Amino acid sequence: MECFHCGREVRETTHTQKGYRVDYYLLHTGRTEWSFLKDPKEDGATLHYLKLLEPLDIISCTGCYDNPRIRERLDQDFNGSISILDGEAIKASEKDTSPPPDHG
């Protein structure tokens, strides 16, 4: 398994008697579209939600998950403003010249 963002190979969670060490997060996302559900009651509100069209699991290593730039991209994906799977979003982030996350 490797990180979606940096490509680093990630390790399984290690459990000990006193705790555990997590090396990655498994994020459930995918292509979505806004959908609406009207309450059948006359005065009922319309429910707006993101309908998952193409489910996809993304692995994010702990270093990338802690990176504010990547966290912002994930937040945008989860709130439906920009899909992390869109080519433009990925290309724009690759233009960023900041150093990659330190996984050491």
pLDDT at position 41: 82
DSSP label at residue 44: P
Residues 6+ apart with CB under 8 A from 53: 30, 31, 32, 33
pLDDT at position 57: 92
37-74 pLDDT, tens digit each: 988 888 888 888 889 888 989 999 999 999 999 999 99
**pLDDT > 90? residue 7:** yes
Residues 6+ apart with CB under 8 A from 96: 69
pLDDT at position 77: 87
Q: Which residues pair with 2 in a beta bridge?
A: 9
Q: pTM for this one?
A: 0.65
- What is the percent of the chain where pLDDT is above 90? 43
pLDDT at position 38: 86
